[in-house]
Amino acid sequence: MKYLVGKKISKKVDFMGDKVEIKKLTVNEVLKIQEATKNTSEEDQINTLRVILRSAVVGADELSDEDIATFPLEELTSLSAEIVKYSGMVGAPEGN
């Protein structure tokens, strides 16, 4: 089983009429997201969304906060929900 440590699992999903690749989050990444969701202000929710996207979307770690802000919120929320579902984050806030 040790040979599986660090193995990434991913799939392509629709985003803004195109495809992006998302990866299943590791336990450490899920814990980081859970920590980020402890606060509930609107700004904290946007920050949580950024953490989720940068953790799971291949290439999103290269996006600045300003880059992410140029995407429609509904599209980002849908993508985030798909990531949460794909990663098995039971009980995670919907859309975060």
Q: What per-residue confidence (pLDDT) applies to 6?
A: 85
- The region, left, alpha or beta by phi > 0 then psi within -120 to 50, assigned to residue 24 is beta
Reported as a single tens digit per residue, the pLDDT across 47-58 is 889 999 999 999
Q: For 62-72, what is each residue's pLDDT tens digit?
A: 999 999 999 99
Task: Return the closest-CA partner of residue 85 out of 30, 42, 4.
Answer: 30
Report the amino acid identity of residue 43: E
pLDDT of residue 15: 96
* Predicted pLDDT at 62: 96
Who wins on pLDDT, 44 or 25?
25
Output the pLDDT for position 90.
Answer: 66
Environment class of residue 9 by beta-carbon count within 10 Å: exposed (0-12), middle (13-18) or buried (19+)?
exposed
5-19, 42-56, 81-95: least confident range: 81-95
